[in-house]
């Protein structure tokens, strides 16, 4: 699973005309009602997409109790492909992290199924996280971090905020990669499936907690949580 800020931040987005300040008049009632309905619909749709993103990981964990590693992995790859196609059909786009993670899962999963070698898909997770940590850390040497390049359309926070978030995600990716490799070496493939599931839950929780960093470093044009708000229509 690749839980992305694109998914999480959408839960906080409401139309700009709902964000009036105390110094301005509130919008007419009909606009407020329409805005509320639109915001609730947006949140419901995003929660549905979030659940869809999590589905392959949950399925992998559930079926691992009833079948062997090879079969579970085949179903995991199939579920990932179906979810990617569904999300692309409905969203007309895919987040970069979802594309990259999906590639790792599908490529290593197919190799695992045909070779019957569990280490392939397990090590692909190690490679994904350590490569991610390396690229994020390398971007700290430049003026604009990789995280800012990917997510500035969704978040409006200061440069220091982006650098703080980058350091946090470097740490998360390093810990995830190192612990994944330790599990690959010392534990069974079946045990790794459970580890992968709970690690995904932990990363999703950290993604939400890191919104407090965005809140602290938000720009004036952002929502209270640092989310970049839609442009206000001219004349409103």
pLDDT at 224: 80
- Cα distances (Å, whole numbers) of residue 32 to 26, 37, 94, 235: 9, 9, 31, 17
For residue 13, tell me if it sits in a domain: no
Q: How many helices (H) and strands (E) does the chain have?
A: 9, 0
Q: Are 26 and 20 in contact (CB under 8 A)?
A: yes
Q: Is the pLDDT score of 23 beyond 80?
A: no
Residue 181, domain member (yes or no): yes
The SS3 assignment for 93 reads coil
Q: Is residue 23 part of a domain?
A: no
Q: In whole angstroms, give the CA distance from residue 83 to residue 75.
A: 12
**What DSSP assignment string belongs to 22-73?**
TTSPPPPHHHHHHHHHHHHHHHHHHHHHHHHHHHHHHHHHHHTTTS-HHHHH
Tokens of 58: 């949950």
108: in domain: yes
In a domain, 221, yes or no: no
Q: Is residue 39 part of a domain?
A: yes
Range with the lowest mean pLDDT among 108-117, 139-148, 150-159?
Answer: 150-159
What's the total number of domains in the chain?
Answer: 1
- Please count the other Cβ atoms lying within 10 Å of the Cβ belonging to residue 105: 26
pLDDT at 212 over 50: yes
pLDDT (average), residues 134-156: 89
Q: How do residues 31-85 score in pLDDT, each as one tens digit?
A: 666 666 765 666 666 667 677 788 888 999 999 999 999 999 999 999 999 888 8
Task: Quote the domain boundaries for residue 112.
Answer: 29-216
Mean pLDDT (the chain) is 81
How many Å apart are CA 104 and CA 49, to the nearest integer? Answer: 20
- pLDDT at 24 (0 to 100): 47
H or E element that contains 114? helix 96-115
In a domain, 18, yes or no: no
Higher pLDDT, 206 or 50: 206
pLDDT at site 78: 93
Q: Give dist(CA 35, CA 30) in Å, integer.
A: 8
Q: Is 89 a member of any domain?
A: yes
């Amino acid at each position: 699973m690749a839980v992305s800020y694109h998914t999480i931040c959408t839960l906080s987005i409401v139309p700009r005309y709902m964000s009036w300040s105390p110094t301005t008049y509130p919008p007419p009632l009909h606009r407020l009602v329409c805005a509320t309905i639109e915001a609730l619909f947006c949140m419901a749709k995003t929660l549905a997409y979030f659940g869809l993103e999590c589905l392959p990981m949950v399925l992998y964990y559930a079926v691992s109790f009833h079948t062997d590693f090879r079969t579970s992995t085949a179903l995991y790859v199939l579920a990932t492909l179906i979810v990617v196609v569904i999300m692309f059909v409905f969203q007309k786009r895919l987040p970069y992290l979802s594309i990259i993670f999906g590639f790792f899962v599908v490529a290593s999963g197919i190799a695992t199924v045909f070779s019957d070698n569990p280490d392939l898909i397990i090590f692909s997770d190690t490679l994904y996280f350590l490569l991610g940590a390396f690229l994020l850390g390398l971007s700290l040497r430049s003026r604009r971090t990789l995280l800012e390049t990917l997510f500035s359309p969704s978040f409006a926070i200061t440069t220091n905020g982006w650098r703080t978030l980058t350091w946090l995600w470097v740490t998360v990716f390093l810990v995830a990669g190192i612990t994944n490799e330790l599990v690959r070496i010392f534990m069974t493939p079946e045990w790794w499936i459970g580890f992968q599931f709970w690690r995904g839950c932990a990363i999703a929780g950290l993604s939400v907690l890191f919104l407090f960093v965005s809140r602290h470093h938000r720009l004036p044009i952002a929502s209270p949580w640092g989310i970049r708000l839609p442009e206000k229509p001219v004349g409103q």
